[in-house]
Amino acid sequence: MRRFGPIETVGRASEYIRAVQLARAKLDDSDVLIVTVFSPLALVALWCGPRALREMVDGSRAEAHSVLAALGGVVSSLAERCVAVGANGVYYSCWGQDVLSADEYREFGVPYDLAGLRGAEAADVRFLHVHGALNEGTERYADYPVEVVGWSEVDSRVSLSEGAQLLPDQVVIGGISERALSKPDADAVRHIAQLVEALGPRFIAGPGCSLPDGIDAEGLSALRALVPG
């Protein structure tokens, strides 16, 4: 991992960049194209399993930092190239805060989250998705160079209303259960209405994580209807 070359030579990154380029060519100038990019710790977990995060941190710290620094460069380059070929925004998914302690995440998570995000500097908008449970440390994301922060209320002890108080300069996204496939029930409608009232323009209604692949057009329309106007 310390010998990564240009981003187009890494894994299937070239295909991803080409997909962004092709999508942009099919869209109108007014259409917004957002790409998902995973943080260095998230990539380790996706490739090797969540246990790998624990094993990496408990092993050689020097080697862990070397791997994460290399991955930070890869993530940054991928985000930069995607923006260069037409992506308007970057949806940056980070992971590890529910596996590592607060001190460990401060050492192994934050610096490399920020390293990856450098490649998104030229994007019009940057979303930060905190994957997994967010139970503490919400305030750390206030210093991230992103306009929007989101997480799953299903898995977390921190609600969007509580978290928004610790992210005064950012918009929060979420409020819709990512496990919902059918028409939202009365509780979901009420929850979104409460968030709209409490946060106003600082709130974007969206799933806490990605919606299940099986959701249909009717289900998406029902979710959109949760937000007045």
Per residue in 22-80, pLDDT tens? 999 999 999 999 999 999 999 999 989 889 999 999 999 999 999 999 999 999 999 99
pLDDT over threshold 60, residue 13 = yes
CA distance 100 to 79: 25
- CATH hierarchy code of domain 1-131: 3.20.20.210
Q: Note the pLDDT of residue 100.
A: 95
Return the structure tokens found at 72. 């930070």
Per residue in 75-88, pLDDT tens? 999 999 999 999 99
pTM: 0.92
Q: Note the pLDDT of residue 180.
A: 67
Name the band, by pLDDT with cuts 50, 70 and 90, for residue 5. Answer: low
Per residue in 96-151, pLDDT tens? 999 999 999 999 999 999 999 999 999 999 999 999 999 999 999 999 999 999 99
pLDDT over threshold 80, residue 3 = no
Q: What residues does CATH 3.20.20.210 cover in the chain? A: 1-131
CA distance 172 to 163: 8
How much is the average pLDDT of 172-179? 88
Q: Note the pLDDT of residue 182.
A: 62
Name the band, by pLDDT with cuts 50, 70 and 90, for residue 181. Answer: low
Return the structure tokens found at 29. 């100038």
CA distance 171 to 169: 7
CB atoms within 10 A of CB 14: 14
CA distance 48 to 125: 30
CA distance 41 to 60: 16
Count CA atoms within 13 Å of residue 155 on its CB side: 16
